[in-house]
Amino acid sequence: MELGGLVRALRAEGPRDGEQPPPRALPPAEEILLQLGPLISEGAAPVRDLGALVEAAQGQWLFGGLSPATLGELVAALNDYAAPPKQEQDAADPPSKDGADAATAERAAEVGSVLLHLLAKLEAAKTQESLGVPVVGPILSRVMGPIYIFAATHIEERPWTNARSQSVAQELLALLVQAGGCGTVAEFLRGKDEDEEGRFAAVMGLLKQELTKDTWKRNPATKHVFSWTLPHVTRPWLSHYLERVLPPSLLISDDYQEENKILGVRCLHHIILNVPAADLCQFNRAQVVYHALYNHLYSREAPLIQAVLRCLLDLLPILERAQRQQTQGRPASPCDEVLRLVLTHMEAEHRLALRRVYARSLPAFVQRLGILIVRHLKRLERVILGYLEVCDGPEEEARLGILETLQCTIEHAWPRMPCRLPVLLKALLRMIWDVHTDHGSTPELVKAALLQGATECLILLDHCSGGQVKVLLEGVYSSCEENRVWECIRKVQENT
């Protein structure tokens, strides 16, 4: 039977005026789908024909006697048809392909429409007496993984998507979650409770072949599907899939392109936060992750350094706990190693973006080391003095971060502060004067925050030096004519 005639016949299958029309001799659905499958890659016409066929067909004809494998292969063919153009594995600068990406978005919208009709038919077939869950369940299990990957590929703004394809993908994902009996994407992937297995294993099984060293860059969507999916699987479920998610995260983070490095580091960070420390330390996994992150600290890109430092701050406690269990005493820790390298880079750094990233991260390292920060005081002092001298723009993020670092350092290493009082006092007073005389674009709120931070540092220095700051500032306090500067000194003098 010709396809157009078949669609008309299927549409005539429905009841009219309460009467069932006489049955027609229709070919088996599996035979038709097997014929359509290989044609999908040839153009849009077979996809439209398939959409019309699925929309017109009754559930009994479409799914009765249909092999789940056949429908799974058909959905996979649709997925391939709507996939972004393949790239060369080592192409550093792929050629512009705006036209190809626009065509991909249109194909995705058409395929998404077909899959929406298919899922709606499967949902309706669950309630039919002749089909029900025993027939529909295996088919759904087979097609849910490929449909999810299609939706995740096109759900966010990418070069190969447009508003229509994103909208279809969002609608499709919502219907897929509903068909799985779940309320959220996270439940769909991980299961509703710890004892229930979700579809994450099936999704990773489909992605496995595309997440190898030789294949992961050929499909530009693969890394985004993986990185979009991973955050939905959290503790305690993620530990069950550690062997599946850790290698691709390391692989993506080890790329030469900054975008991929950041993507991989974010995936590693999610794993660190959601996998028990014991599992991470097993087989030396935590050390492998640490060395991968540590190598990124030699980068000159601020977004990457920021992502790496955040990730390391959550990984270091795990490494140090394992180290304490293996050794006695207080040997140099990974935190010492990281801070030593960061301070070395900070001393010579002149790019404001990197100075801000380093300065924002430094207080957390001081807090992490506590009294052991005394191991780094000489170099840390040079960094603090150098950063207090330089204005870094309207928001003064570097100076504010360094003032917070100085406060933490005084609180933790106060016995070592009196000998450093002359240089620190001079640097803080110079900064207060610079802020007071600054007539640039720095907002008043930022200036107030800088002056407040400097004042708190002076008060802490006074406490740990037995009141020496009050004595040294006495002459300035009695003769200062600048209100802002005088107010800062007054707070120090009157503090008890």
CA distance 91 to 235: 37
DSSP 183-202: SSHHHHHH-SSTTS--SHHH
Is the CA virtual torsion 172, 178, 184, 189 positive or negative?
negative
DSSP 212-250: STTTTTTSTTHHHHHHHHGGGS-TTTGGGGHHHHHHHHH
Q: What is the pLDDT of residue 276?
A: 95
Distances (CA, A) of 280 to 17, 238, 271, 277, 337: 66, 12, 9, 5, 20
Q: What is the pLDDT of residue 30?
A: 78
Q: What is the pLDDT of residue 398?
A: 95
Q: What is the pLDDT of residue 20?
A: 47
Distances (CA, A) of 267 to 107, 181, 262, 270, 296: 30, 28, 9, 5, 15
Helices of type H across 373-420: 377-389, 397-412
Is the CA virtual torsion 205, 207, 210, 216 positive or negative?
negative
Q: Which of 75, 91, 99 is nearest to 149 (CA)?
A: 75
Q: What is the pLDDT of residue 294?
A: 97
Q: What is the pLDDT of residue 327?
A: 60
Q: What is the pLDDT of residue 156?
A: 94
Q: What is the pLDDT of residue 321?
A: 85
Q: Which residues of the chain have pLDDT under 50?
A: 1, 15-23, 92-96
The reply to whether omega before 363 is within 30° of 0 (cis) is no
Token couple for 291: 């060395």
% of the chain residues with pLDDT over 90: 65
Token couple for 33: 């789908």
Q: What is the DSSP letter of 358?
A: H
Q: What is the pLDDT of residue 487?
A: 87
CA distance 84 to 222: 10
Beta strands in 308-451 (DSSP E): none
Q: What is the pLDDT of residue 48?
A: 86
